[in-house]
Amino acid sequence: MLFNSYAFIFGFLPVTLVVFYLLGRNIGIRAGIGWLVICSLFFYGWWNPAYLGLIVGSMMFNFIVGTSLARRVGRPGNRTLLLLGVGVNLGLIAYFKYANFFVGNLNTVAGTDYNLGVIILPLAISFFTFQQITFLIDSYVGKVKEYNLLNYCLFVTFFPQLIAGPIVHHSEMMPQFARRSLANPRAINLAVGLSIFALGLFKKAVLADGIAPYADSVFADAENGQALDAIAAWGGALSYTFQLYFDFSGYSDMAIGLARMFSIRLPLNFNSPYKATNIIDFWRRWHMTLSRFLRDYVYIPLGGNRKGNARRHVNMLATMLIGGLWHGAGWTFVVWGGLHGLYLVINHFWQVLRRSAGFGGDGGWLGRSTGQAITFLAVVVGWVFFRALTFDGALVMLEGMAGLNGVALPAAIAHRAGALASSLQAAGVEFSTGGGGDFLKTWGWIAVLIAITFLLPNTQEIMRRYKPVLGYVSLAVRRLEWRPTPVWACGIAALLAVGVLSLPEVSVFLYFQF
């Protein structure tokens, strides 16, 4: 079931919400939590009921192993039990997500013809498995203090964050589930949650889905081997850059808003990443809970920065390669991860160079703007590999973006450019017939989304007064701050209405495939 569907908005959500508070207030919080677990499993099974057994079996296995680890902290054999638990979880992901990828590569290298058949990837397997790995490791080191099975089931299946995150820690959620006041509905929580949900729905249904066709058509041409000029290639790359941005930002807002309706705060997962002034800052803002997982459970166990700079950079590259492979079983994802690992290494070298040269601070407005522009361009290049289905398609895109196929504009622009058209032609710009409408729509969308991305506050800044997420403090200038007033109610209602009216063309969130 999708957040951006009539069935969810007008059926599943109101029924789940009303019954949760009725049960919680009249019978007890345990009944309310039990209802949420049942509804979350129904939500998951809506996609494919056959995989309900998989998620339930995974929960039972990890709960038994995790509680055993927590009760045996420091005892002999506990490390073996941890390795067994983590190994089973990784084995589950390896089979469903990577088995055909590895077998295909083995066949290519060894000339064999192994065939595992079609393996359907269970929805959200990466997210709920990684979340449970954090539970096992936290249990092993003694961080887990609460062993309630019902609460654990909600921790894993809580539907607002089940499908695409954020990846939460046991210690972040259990204290909230244990609150006696959880089942007492508060108008402010419902208002804040609905407002955040409406903002997210508008981002997804209107902005992300609105620009998606202009990205899809260009990448499809690239996959077909069609040469792209610089304007077309950059139009496609930037269209996808903003499609992914508003798709994931919209999902993250909707997840946070839904949880808040149930009086639960989730950790921040998306914080204006395109405003980052360097690639390190970007990864502190993009998919923040995945970055946290990779740092705590991959980078640091590999040695982090404790074994010298050379080892630090190797660990960084290895972590980002794993992060790339996590996103998809394909070499384009591995290249994307490796590219970001290289970006991070270069960024660290640059910071060391600046410090050794005696340059402190951020370079002022010019330094921040330059860093932001370079970071954004580097990210756009990376997204080409992330989006392309094949290396050939990615290379066609990059060739076009590099200007190797020239620059072309619609002939209609030449008629309106006057004397400037001659100067453009002298500079090597070609004018082609047709395509004027698509050109204006593509670059019109891009211009609007650039303005929204870089000039407006994000959702957390708008909702800052009401602490929308765990542990986030916004230091932004107080612009467009949400308040429970009639003006804001009308504005949010308008956004919600536009979002709902856009739902006949429902599309899956991009991160659902991971």
Q: Which residues are catalytic?
A: 327
Secondary structure element (H or E) that encloses residue 75, with its range: none
Residue type (1 letter), 503: L
Q: Which residues contact 348 (CB under 8 A, 6 or more apart)?
A: 280, 309, 312, 313, 316
Peptide bond into 166 cis (omega under 30): yes
Backbone angles phi, psi at 431, to 5 degrees: -115, 120
β-bridge partners, 267:
470
β-bridge partners, 431:
409
Give the Cα separation of 28 and 21 in Å (integer): 9
3-state secondary structure of 429: strand
Whole-angstrom CA distances from 299 to 75, 201, 313 are 26, 34, 10
Q: Which residues contact 337 (CB under 8 A, 6 or more apart)?
A: 320, 321, 322, 323, 324, 325, 327
Closest CA to 269 of 194, 188, 370, 163: 163
Closest CA to 16 of 4, 8, 6: 8
C-alpha distance across the termini of the chain, in Å: 16
Measured on CA atoms in the order 216, 509, 4, 500, is the torsion positive or negative? negative
- Are 89 and 129 contacting, i.e. CB atoms less than 8 angstroms apart? yes
Q: Report the relative pairing of strands 407-410 and 429-432 from DSSP bridges.
A: parallel
DSSP state of 73: T
Q: Given the structure tokens 């609007």, which residue do they identify?
A: 448
- Are 462 and 495 contacting, i.e. CB atoms less than 8 angstroms apart? no
